[in-house]
Amino acid sequence: MFELIQSGGIMMFPIILSSILAVAIIIERFLALQVRKVVPQDDVERARKLASSTKLADAQVDELRNSSLLGRVLATGLESRELPRHIMKENVEEAGRHVVQELERYLPALGTIVTISPMMGLLGTVLGMIGVFSAINTAGVGNPQQMAGGISEALITTVAGLLVAIITLVFERYFKSKVDSYVATMEREAMRLIEIANSSRKVLPAAAGARPAGAAARPAAGTQPQRPGALAPERGGRVA
């Protein structure tokens, strides 16, 4: 293995460094983008209960915020539930943008590795071919061993660069699709939370101002309650 790397020339070292960096990012993203850390179902149910409750403690909101990335977005919505709907929605969207940046962390680095790895392999190919023509210029075509060394360097760096780029591209696309799925789930749950909070805010004032059922209407001031069966005298008639 070491001989293969050595025969690839100087460009094998940045290609290997890029592959190590790509593996580190892939492992980190696998650990960070777990469902229980991003969109756990427990946080969804907890946020809905808090949105429909009449009393909301700060400790409950902080616990929801620290539990997951989705909890961070929903906690922002719960803190703004007393505000108008459009302001609440703006606050949730702002928190969502920060969460998306957290989800996409290091993915641009993977994209950079996908782009530069074939280029480094191509550069190694060019350097190898330069070595071949230098050997031909020095010793002529009578020394095939020197020519084979330059051609080997060109082929090894090309294969290494393409291999790193292909593997990294597969994981980059996978992580991007996963992030898109998480973002869609967060948007859906955030909108549901806003609707629940608005519904609860409308119900509470209406219930507070409603008159208990069965309560009799009070008579107006200065009037006597009419007895059952009493009839008002006809207009214009005399009372005996």
Say if CB 179 and CB 104 are below 8 A apart: yes
Of residues 10 and 225, more confidently modeled = 10
CA-CA-CA-CA torsion sign (29, 32, 33, 35): positive
- Rounded mean pLDDT, 182-188: 94
Separation CA 82–CA 79 (nearest Å): 8
- Show Cβ contacts of residue 69 under 8 Å, excluding neighbours closer than 6 positions: 37, 38, 39, 99, 102, 103, 182, 186
How do residues 98-140 score in pLDDT, each as one tens digit? 999 999 999 999 999 999 999 999 998 888 787 777 766 676 6
Stated length of the chain: 240
Q: Which one-letter DSSP state was computed for residue 40?
A: -
- At residue 207 the predicted structure's pLDDT band, cuts being 50, 70 and 90, is very low
pTM, rounded to two decimals: 0.74
The torsion angles phi and psi of 210, rounded to 5 degrees, stand at -75, 145
**Residues 11, 124: contact at Cβ < 8 Å?**
yes
